[in-house]
Amino acid sequence: MPNTLTHTALRLPEGTTVHHGKVRDVYRLSDGRLILVATDRISAFDVILPRGIPHKGQVLTQLSWHMLQATADVAPNWADAMPDPQVIIGRACEPVKVEMVVRGYLSGHAWRSYRSGQRVLCGAPMPDGMRESDAFPAPIITPSTKADEGHDEDITPAEVLERGLCKRTEWDTMANYALALYARGQEIARSRGLILVDTKYEFGRDADGRILLIDEIHTPDSSRYFHLEGYAERQARGERQKQLSKEFVREWLIAHDFMGKEGQQVPAMDDAFVQSVSDRYIELYETITGQAFQPTDTTDIEGRVQKAVSDHLT
């Protein structure tokens, strides 16, 4: 199988700090720039799984860059350059510790909550009588805390303000941006025969205090997509929807008795499963962009990334 990038230790100018997240390694330069390296790590239930997924970091980076460019007129974002297929460089921002999750359909976590009897999720009402994968009357925002470690937690807009995670004006700006970005994402998805089911957006404050869209956008890690063709027919028959997302990884883990709970053991990932995950990521990239995926050389991924970043910074 191709090599994967599961850790980086880039040599960068003095004063650079680094944070190794669940999937991304984030380098912050003293001049105010940020280097975001999408590794091939994969996480589910807030746990990093034991094997990297070939080409996953390239898919995430190139798809995110594509979407950041396609939505720049909707919300200002942090990204300035993509010097390598796994690297985006842009403006460092102070992250707002809230994930803005926008849901247009009853699926995933929302469906699991709904099935258990909940009719309000993160302060957003969910009507009675809905079935899995039904569309909400209008998209809802169901925020969660952005945890540095451990599990993110559901939170209401009122609790966001009570905890001082952001100001009222910042919340309003983020909510407006999130709904507008979701609407644009839906338009793009439908033009490619997909439905953008739900997604998350992260925002930060730049040096001037402006709210900017940060991190990735509309990727398999941050979003769920259904196939548009046959959606209505499958709903009418009560069948599961065909989707392109990371949900199948979560379902595989659940089937192997793992949900990230204390004492549970991560199941072994064989080559066939790892390849199937890689194939799903590539399929979504090609479907959503309409472009053939061109895998880059994986002989020495970190060396390739190091050279690209160094050349860009000089």
In sequence order, which ranges of 32-149 are alpha helices (DSSP H)?
56-70, 108-115
Q: Do domains 17-93+272-313 and 94-244 have the same CATH topology?
A: no
Please report which confidence band the pLDDT of residue 184 belongs to, taking 50, 70 and 90 as the band edges.
Answer: very high
> In whole angstroms, what is the distance from residue 274 CA to residue 294 CA?
19
Query: Quick one: pLDDT at residue 245?
Result: 76
Please state the domain extents for the chain: 17-93+272-313, 94-244
Query: Looking at domain 17-93+272-313, which of 3.30.200.20, 3.20.20.100, 3.40.50.2300, 1.50.10.20 is its CATH number?
Result: 3.30.200.20
Percentage of the chain beyond pLDDT 90 is 89
Q: Is the pTM of this model over 0.85?
A: yes
> In whole angstroms, what is the distance from residue 216 CA to residue 67 CA?
9
Tens digits of residue pLDDT in 52-111 = 999 999 999 999 999 999 999 999 999 999 999 999 999 999 999 999 999 999 999 999
Tens digits of residue pLDDT in 150-172 = 567 999 999 999 999 999 999 99
Query: How many other CB atoms sit within 10 Å of the CB of residue 7?
Result: 12
Question: The tokens of 268 are what?
Answer: 């072994």
Assess contact for 58 and 296: CB atoms under 8 A.
yes
Tens digits of residue pLDDT in 141-153 = 999 997 655 567 9
Instruction: Give me the DSSP letters along 12-76.
Output: --TT-EEEE-SSEEEEE-TTSEEEEEE-S--EETTEE-SS--TTHHHHHHHHHHHHHHHTTTTS-
Q: What is the CATH number of domain 94-244?
A: 3.30.470.20
Query: Quick one: pLDDT at residue 149?
Result: 56
Query: Quick one: pLDDT at residue 247?
Result: 78
